[in-house]
Structure 1
Amino acid sequence: MNKKLAMMGLGVAVGSMMLVTSVYAGVGDAPGYETFKSAFKQTAAVENVTRQVNVSLQDNGVSLLNVKSTIKSDQSGRAGSAEVKVKNGKEEQTIHFYSQDGKQIVKTADSDVYKVIEAQPGNGKFKALEGANHTPDPATIQEVENVVDALVGNLKNYVTMDQKSGKGKEIHFKLSGSQISPVVNTIGSLIIKHGTQENGQRPIPAKADTLGVDVSTLKNSLPQLANDIKMDAVEVNATIDGDNHITNQTAQIHISGKDVQGVNHDVVLSVDMTLSSLNSTTPDTVDLNGKKVENVKFDQQSRKH
């Protein structure tokens, strides 16, 4: 895989991990904690599900980026599909992903070519990806849970829970100002500053190196924060149905900072995820017969740096 694309993916993964850690940090040993954790595990155990995930990014009230995606997954059949629409105000691109018959397939809306990545015999990296669909070891889950519990501290009191009709529940969590851990703020500042500076110094990878995905749509939308970066507020809300599944979860993060010219920026990242068709989802598939197909060897991709 292209190294630059991998680094961007790493940055997104780290940022997501920080968000999840912050969410867990707000649901400590209070009544809402066990409720949220139980529903989280119950939802993760669902064999197949449809997820609608919308992400938006604003800077000083101006929309910079909107990502809308529909993800259908089937763990038991190791199948999945996704449609992702990315818009940065001026440009829009749509990307289709399929996982079927041991193949990973990518197609962008501006091309009629289907890029097919097949598992190569003995390719350990591809096997590792396949293994990601396996059910996690219970002991590992418990170890992670223990670590998360240990990180909670006194923030447990910031979560609230409301009962709904039909055994449903609403979970609410909000931190702002000094309530946000200095450690989380410092790490977040370093990641944002380092990520934007690195992206500014590196050339944008060609679409040929990113399976046809135009990375510039993402890169050019990110505010270039350089100094006085801090997380001002984090708010998370979750809806739990009567079957103990999280059917909707929203998160909003407010970040402020200055760019290299000293201009102040107030950045708002919003995420909205809705789950539906639990245990009744069938991922989309594509019939490649008669289609233009480009085969991509996974081991060759992994050697590109």
Structure 2
Amino acid sequence: MRKKWLGIGLSVGITGALIWGYGASASADSTTMGVYESALHQTKEAKSMTAHAQLALTDNGAKLLTLEGVAKIDHNQHIGSVNATFTDTLGEKSMQAFLEKDQVVVKKGDSNVYRVMEKMDRRQQPENDADNKRGAMIHKLFATVFGDLGKNATVENLPDGGKRTSLQLSEEQIPAFIQAAGPILYGKLAEHSQEATFSENHLSVKLPRLQEDFQVDQVLLNAKINEKNQIEQQSAVVHLSGTDASGKEHKLQLSLDIRLSDLGTTTPERIDLTGKQVEKVSREDMKNKWRKDWTKHSDSE
């Protein structure tokens, strides 16, 4: 679970801030999406940044999961740190993660054990041309899936010289692919959440088991761009609905808010493992664990 927390922290703190960017690239021919994409590229030019992330999931107003985290990344040095707090049905959990040049260190809040996993040798990672090809493929995929969503976006000039871009999609405007895949994906997540509800090794989020009437009702996306053409804040709200087997209606809301600060001046926290209790985890061990968990989950279907 610590590994999953690390992934969540980094994804929400950094990668999550850029997800809309891929969608923007798919529709960059519109004025608003062009403004956003320009700011996204300018933000990426900052070789370090701090991301303050807040995430909340509610069911009929009742909180199922909340997350607050701070991620600090320095791309030049290939280092980073994450501090995150989660609140689920079992209470509050916390974690720290440190991304070093040659390893990843993760510590659960109430544990004195630091789990250490070696990072992949950068020489083993794909070359830049391969990365560029992958980026082009992703661009094409989003263009196909999301089409011309840019026509629904707006841009507003702010008094401080910045801009605010917004994209609001109603049920009718949401791509058919998302509406079709949504019930399948949600069903898998709900099934897995039921299995993990009472386990301390998983996030305990008991999602309601919804029927075939599950749908995505609305998507709201906003981004605040400063006068330097850098993204300062980005938020997303997704409204979902459906009924369970008893006929009870559920209104789910997933909200994410990310604030970026200290662009180009962030210094991630470091960890000194001298004198600390360390548990080494190999990449092969992690692969075997994921394979075992996947097989177990598949066999239960």
How does the TM-score come out when normalised to structure 1?
A: 0.80
Once the two structures are superposed, what CA deviation does each residue of 1:61-117 show, in whole Å capped at 9, x if it has no partner?
Answer: 111110001000111111010011000265000010001241110101111111111
SS of 1:96's partner is: strand
TM-superposed deviation, 1:262: 2.5
Indicate the residue corresponding to 1:185 in structure 2.
179
CA RMSD in angstroms comes to 3.4
SS of 1:287's partner is: coil
Indicate the residue corresponding to 1:113 in structure 2.
113
TM-superposed deviation, 1:166: 4.5
Cα pair 1:28 1:157 within 8 Å, conserved:
no
Is the aligned partner of 1:234 residue 2:219?
yes
Range that drifts further, 157-166 or 48-57: 157-166
1:176 pairs, out of 155, 170, 173, with 170
TM-superposed deviation, 1:47: 1.0
TM-superposed deviation, 1:128: 7.2
Cα pair 2:198 2:204 within 8 Å, conserved:
no
Distance in 1 of aligned mates of 2:265 and 2:161: 22
Once the two structures are superposed, what CA deviation does each residue of 1:16-70 show, in whole Å capped at 9, x if it has no partner?
Answer: 79x7499549955321011111112222232111001110011101111100010
Cα pair 2:197 2:205 within 8 Å, conserved:
no
SS of 1:303's partner is: helix
Is the aligned partner of 1:73 residue 2:110?
no
Residues 66, 205 of structure 1: CA spacing in aligned structure 2 closer, same or farther, 3 A cutoff? Answer: closer
TM-superposed deviation, 1:149: 4.0
TM-superposed deviation, 1:258: 1.6
SS of 1:193's partner is: helix
Indicate the residue corresponding to 1:38 in structure 2.
38
Residues 298, 148 of structure 1: CA spacing in aligned structure 2 closer, same or farther, 3 A cutoff? Answer: closer
Residues 132, 277 of structure 1: CA spacing in aligned structure 2 closer, same or farther, 3 A cutoff? Answer: farther
Residues 298, 246 of structure 1: CA spacing in aligned structure 2 closer, same or farther, 3 A cutoff? Answer: same
TM-superposed deviation, 1:244: 1.5
Residues 160, 299 of structure 1: CA spacing in aligned structure 2 closer, same or farther, 3 A cutoff? Answer: same
Cα pair 2:86 2:93 within 8 Å, conserved:
yes
Indicate the residue corresponding to 2:159 in structure 1.
165
Range that drifts further, 48-57 or 156-165: 156-165
Cα pair 1:234 1:251 within 8 Å, conserved:
yes
Indicate the residue corresponding to 1:62 in structure 2.
62
Cα pair 2:168 2:220 within 8 Å, conserved:
yes
Once the two structures are superposed, what CA deviation does each residue of 1:250-290 show, in whole Å capped at 9, x if it has no partner?
Answer: 00000001223322100000000000000111110111112
Indicate the residue corresponding to 2:243 in structure 1.
258
The code of the aligned residue for 1:227 comes to: E
Distance in 1 of aligned mates of 2:64 and 2:196: 21
Cα pair 1:229 1:255 within 8 Å, conserved:
yes
Cα pair 2:25 2:139 within 8 Å, conserved:
no
Distance in 1 of aligned mates of 2:124 and 2:82: 17
Distance in 2 of aligned mates of 1:68 and 1:118: 26
Is the aligned partner of 1:249 residue 2:234?
yes
TM-superposed deviation, 1:194: 2.4
Distance in 1 of aligned mates of 2:22 and 2:213: 20
Distance in 1 of aligned mates of 2:128 and 2:47: 11
TM-superposed deviation, 1:235: 0.3
Indicate the residue corresponding to 1:194 in structure 2.
188
Distance in 2 of aligned mates of 1:67 and 1:264: 25
1:290 pairs, out of 263, 270, 275, with 275
Distance in 1 of aligned mates of 2:151 and 2:268: 40
**Structure 2, unpaired ranges of 5+:** 293-301
Distance in 1 of aligned mates of 2:268 and 2:261: 13
Distance in 1 of aligned mates of 2:25 and 2:280: 44
**Structure 1, unpaired ranges of 5+:** 120-125, 208-213
Greater relative CO, 1 or 2 (CA 8 Å, sep 6+): 1
Cα pair 2:90 2:204 within 8 Å, conserved:
no
Distance in 2 of aligned mates of 1:266 and 1:284: 39
Cα pair 1:26 1:159 within 8 Å, conserved:
no
